[in-house]
Each structure stands twice: as structure tokens, then as C-alpha cells.
Structure 1
Amino acid sequence: MNYRHFVLIGAMAVSVPALAQEVTFKIAHFLPSAAPTQQKVLQPWCEEMGKLSSGRIKCQFYPAMQLGGTPAQLADQVKNGVADVVWTGPGYSAGRFPAIEAFELPFMVKDSTSSSKALWTYYQQHAQQEFAAYKVLAFHTDGGQAVHTASKQIAGLTGFAGLKLRTSTRVGAKTLAALGGQPVAMPPAQVTEAIAKGVVDGSLGAWELVYPTKLSEVTKFHLQPDNGVAYPTATVLAVLMNKQKYDGLPADLKAIVDKTTGEAMVGKFGAMFDEVAADTRKRIAAQGNKITTLSATQVTAMKQATASVEDEWAKQVSEKGLDGKKLIAAARELTGTSK
């Protein structure tokens, strides 16, 4: 074997691993592994990337905060490389991502499909700067938060008075307080036990959460607006990727990540959350729970009661150099909602 053969073999040894680089994404989130987010969106996404990459992209899931910390720390975990990808609510880190909070304002979100599409457009136009440290894969909403209570049925605006309810974001907490309720912040995993022990009377939460967090076992009453009417509050959710992890991928694997995320992933989250919401309502009704729908009159009264939340939010974000009123107007135009 002469020198040229050695050079050729050496070049092949270097080029083959470079061409066939494999990668495993560590994916973390705050719900159990059985949650629809993992089962119906994130796992199928990983399977799709696996097929498109001939098995070179793999995923390892860390549900229910298995990497430690709290849901509020997921944004830092992915930024610092503890996880490669996270699914989280930016609003869990109170005040850190102010522009995106506009979609959590009172009566902004009617469903997940339309509002998630609107949110993705809004992010591209108004909120890219505050997520510059991440590779953003998707944004979506939870479709709006219904009110789930253990023993007290809420009848309109006055029914919130004195009720202790779990809220997921600071905007949601302010909305509940404006309605006369007492907001209590806690991670989703703690809610069911807190209701069972009487620490809280119930929870604001998307229908998607009801079975994964076992809210179905401790609540009997549920309050929601009519179809096509916006919910009192909603949660913005995001799939964020570590920027260095993405930047270090070979071009062909980057292309696969890009092809399977963004608008495509936003659409899948929106459809899934609405589908699960409809299915959950059927299951909840079948087990004998009572679902109350807010009347148009009640919604109008609740909008008036929560108007101050929007005004206060606009002032607060303006202090951070953002045009709060402009952001609200943009969000309302995109979602087709009015104050």
C-alpha cells in the first residue's frame, strides 16, 4: 500500500463521520410523558426528523422537570444547554418576555388554531428581539383557560369573589384579581393535590391539562365562554432550542429542523390543542361534571371588569421601552378580538 492509498483512506475516515453526523436532542418540559404535547406533537416531530435524516436525528425526553428545577427555569435550562429543546410558557418567567405577553391579556384568545397562527405572525413582527438568545421553533397558545373548581359552581362575574384559583402567569393573576378572585401561583404538577387538600378552590387552565394533571379527579365544575368567544385569559407556550446546538448542526440537519418547525409545528399544536379540548369536554361531561357556558352579557361585564389589566400592562411594558398600546392593537387585529 503506497502513500496515496493512506491519504485516500485517511480522507475517507474523516469525511464519513462528518457526512453522517448523528445528534440526540434532549427535550424537556413540565408535564407528564403521557401529555398530548409529548405524545401528539413532540414525539411525532422527532419521528419525522428521524425519517428525514435516515436515523441521524434522535430525541431523548425529560418530561415532568426530570432535569430538575421549576417550569420557570426551563427558559434558562435551554439557553444554558442543560436541555437542547424545551416546551415552556415564557410567562412562567414573570416579566422576562414582555412583548409576547400581549396574547395572555383578557379576552384575546378564542381557540388554539386561530390564535396560534396569529401569535406566530405577531412574534415575527413584534417579539423576535426578546427571543434573540434562542432558536425559536414554534409559538402557540393553549386555546384559552377555562375555570375548573372542586365544589363551587361559578355563576358569572360575582362568582369569582374570594375564590382561590391557581393561575399560570402574572397576566392571568391580574385578570383573576380584577374579577374578584384570589390568584395562587403554582406549577401544574402541584395543582391537583392543592385542590384535594383545600389549599385552592380550583384552577384556571387549558382543557388540555385536565387529564394529564388529574384535575379531572378533583374538580366537578367548569366554566368557559361560548364557541367563538374569547376566554378571560390564555397562556402563551413556546418550543425553544439552544442556539449553539442549532448552529453546530450540519447544514442538512439544520434544514430538517427548519422544515419541520415554524409554521408547520405551530399548526400542529393549534389543531392538537383544539382537538384535545373538544374531546376533554365530552369526557368530562360523560363523567357527570357540569360545564357552564358564559353568556354574552356575562362576558361583557367581565370585559369591563378586566379593562384595567390591559391599561396597566400597556404602562408597564412601555417602561421597558415597548409601545404597549401598539402591541395590544396588533394582537387584537391578528386575533380578531375587541377589548
Structure 2
Amino acid sequence: MPSVNIAIGAILTMLTMAAVTPAAADHKPEHTLKLHHFLGPKSIAHTKMLEPWAKKVEEESEGRIKIDIFPAMSLGGSPLQLASQVRDGVVDIIWTLNGYTPQLFPRTEVFELPGVHTNDIVATNLAMQELFDEWLSDEYDGVKVIALHVHAGQGIQMRDTPVRSIGDLGGKQMRIPSRTGAWIIEALGATPVGMPVPDLPQALSTGRVDGALIPWEIIPPLKIEELTEYQIEGPDSERFGTATFQIAMNQGAYDSLPPDLQSVIDANSGDAIAKDIGAVWQESEDIGIAVALADGNEHIVLTEEEMAPFRDAMAPIIDRWIEEVGEKGIDGQALLDAARAAIAKHSTAM
């Protein structure tokens, strides 16, 4: 019987290998990528944008790519270091606010200027992708840009001061996200205070700032409704400039992927996800303002007559930006015209 036992043992071994080895190989990722960002795990950016994107990439790669997401700067450093972390290969992918490192992205700032982004998030997102190769790509050496995008725009959110005129902001300390945000606040007679948005709740609670330029979507994750009484915007959801963001991958990490997996990343980049990102951020705006109203806050919508002085005060910011980027050899007027035309085109196409 020894030969029979040996034969049975051999068959069992073969069946075990057939059952385990191929399946394990099919499900073991070939490339594990680290994605780092500055907001918490309950934020809209994490749950509605980054997690679904990562899952889609993993599924379309048939499990050969795995993306581990690290929120709230859990891999170390500050939000201001995210752009350098991905360029230097400390992490593979980042999501960050360009305004945290404004010296690196002067061209992309055009979309932050008051009156350029016209409150159609999808249109502005598509315009950014359209202008990327000709106008913006020089700012992103060392990274594979997966997407550029904006949020709905900066609303004015105040601890205890209703704002219906520029004079209401006089002397106030206001958190800003970027240098363009600082220019806007200065033009409106207040003092800009720069800080990453995760630091805002403490600044509001201690009175370090009287208010902030932030969109509605950030209200729920940071519990801004508990720290403010007023949310202010212009007619037709008009805001006070916006902020630009990037999802970017280290170029070396991208280049290390085989062509078929690069194609998976490409298929989930640029125009392919710009609309989805826009829809997510617009939905999150509606949720955010609803949370504030449910907590008893007042949503002030300025009339056309009330908004006109704000527009007039912010208008010189355009010339200031054109002059400053001109010193860097950038044709700011041509870029401004191109940005406005692209946004208008995509707004019409919606």
C-alpha cells in the first residue's frame, strides 16, 4: 500500500497548490502606493473623493495596485510639506492645497482670483485640465498630475459678526488659505492670518481669528458650525475667490509601473475624474450649509447692491497678480484670458 499512499499524498499536494498558489498570486498586489493628505478620515475629501478613486484604481488593476491612504498627516510633516514629500518620493501620492506652497504654483493661481472661477466647479476643473499642457505643466516637474481641481469658493464664515458691507470686516483677523486669499482679505479691510485648515477650529475657539475664508464643505468635519454664527456669500452662490488643489503622484513611482498599470492611472486622471470631483464637492457644499443652518447659524446671501462694493474692492487683485507673475516671466494677461475662456466654454457645455 505504500505506493497508493504516496500517490494519494502527491494528489493532495497538487490540489493544495492549485487551490492556494494561483489565488494568492492573483490577489497579492505588485505595487503598494502610499497616499498622504492633510484632512481627517471623516472628511469629504477622504471618504467621497480619495477612497473611491483608490478603490477604482485597485479594481481596474485587478488587484495589482494597492493604495494605502494616510489622512491627517499621519505619515509625518505638516500640510505645507506635502508638495515636497511627493516630489522627493517620501510618499507616492498626495492630495494638497496649492496655496500652502504658493511660490511653487503661480500659474495655477489664476483660477483662485476673484471673478475667474464662476461657481461652476466642474467647469473650472475641466478648464484646469485643458490648460495644463500649455500653461501649467512647468509647475509640476517631478510629479504625474492625476487631477487639478477647485472647491466651490471661499465663503466668509464669522464667529459672531454678521457681514453685509466691507466695513463690517474692518480690523477683523481672518484665516486665509493662500496668498490670493490674503490679497482678498486685505482688499476688504481685514487682516489675513495664514494657517492650514486643520488649525482653524482652535484659532476660532480661542479668538485668534474672528472668521475665515473657507467653503461650506469643511463645516461638518471641523465642526465649524459650533464655532461660528454666520456664513456669508454673494448672490447666486458667488464667492470670494477659490482655492486650487492637486492630486499628484511621484513621477518615479509612476514610471516604475508597467505600461498596462500606467494606463490604469491615466484612465483615472484628468478629465476622466474632473467631473466626478466637481460633483462631490458641490454635493458637500449643500451638506455643509445645511449642517450650519441646523445648528442655528444664519446664512447671509448678499444682494447685488451689497455685493457690488466687494467686487470693486477685489478688482485690483487681478492687476496685482498679473504684475507679480510677470516678474517671473509669465504672461499673466494671456493666461487669465485663456482661463476665463476655458471656464466659459465648459460652463456652456454643461
TM-score w.r.t. length of structure 2:
0.87
Residue of structure 2 in register with 1:208 after alignment: 217
**Conserved 8 A contact 1:225-1:294:** yes
> Which letter does structure 2 place at the counterpart of 1:213?
L
> What is the aligned counterpart of 2:266 among 248, 258, 261?
258
Matched, 1:83 2:108: no
Q: SS at 2:222's partner residue? A: coil
Alpha-carbon distance in structure 2 between the residues aligned to 1:326 and 1:41? 32
- The Cα of 1:47 is off from its aligned counterpart by 1.2
> Which letter does structure 2 place at the counterpart of 1:63?
P
Q: SS at 1:128's partner residue? A: helix
- The Cα of 1:123 is off from its aligned counterpart by 2.4
> What is the aligned counterpart of 2:124 among 90, 98, 115?
115
- The Cα of 1:269 is off from its aligned counterpart by 1.1
Alpha-carbon distance in structure 2 between the residues aligned to 1:289 and 1:300? 24
CA 334–297 in structure 1, closer or farther in 2 if over 3 Å, else same: farther
Alpha-carbon distance in structure 2 between the residues aligned to 1:333 and 1:158? 33
Residue of structure 2 in register with 1:267 after alignment: 275
- Compare 87-96 and 71-80 and name the one that shifted more: 87-96
Alpha-carbon distance in structure 2 between the residues aligned to 1:196 and 1:242? 37
Matched, 1:156 2:140: no
Residue of structure 2 in register with 1:278 after alignment: 286
- The Cα of 1:50 is off from its aligned counterpart by 1.6
Alpha-carbon distance in structure 2 between the residues aligned to 1:215 and 1:283? 9
- The Cα of 1:21 is off from its aligned counterpart by 6.3
Q: SS at 1:32's partner residue? A: coil
**1:81-138 deviation digits (Å, cap 9, x = unpaired):** 1111000112210222110000111122213222212222232331111113210000
Gaps spanning 5+ residues in structure 2: where? 1-24, 346-350
Residue of structure 1 in register with 2:201 after alignment: 192
Matched, 1:124 2:122: no
Matched, 1:182 2:171: no
**Conserved 8 A contact 1:111-1:144:** no
Matched, 1:31 2:29: no
- Who wins on radius of gyration, i.e. which is larger? 2
**1:203-244 deviation digits (Å, cap 9, x = unpaired):** 1112121111221221110001222x5421110011010000
Q: SS at 1:28's partner residue? A: strand
> Which letter does structure 1 place at the counterpart of 2:307?
V
Q: Any residues of structure 2 matched to 1:168-179 within 5 Å, and which?
A: 168-179=177-188
Alpha-carbon distance in structure 1 between the residues aligned to 2:89 and 2:135? 26
Aligned residues: 322
**Conserved 8 A contact 2:218-2:288:** no
> Which letter does structure 1 place at the counterpart of 2:301?
T
> What is the aligned counterpart of 2:105 among 97, 103, 112?
97
- The Cα of 1:156 is off from its aligned counterpart by 2.4
- The Cα of 1:310 is off from its aligned counterpart by 1.1
Q: SS at 2:52's partner residue? A: helix
**1:117-174 deviation digits (Å, cap 9, x = unpaired):** 2222232331111113210000110110111111111112222111111000001101
Q: SS at 2:35's partner residue? A: strand
**Conserved 8 A contact 2:220-2:291:** no
Residue of structure 1 in register with 2:332 after alignment: 324
Gaps spanning 5+ residues in structure 1: where? 1-16
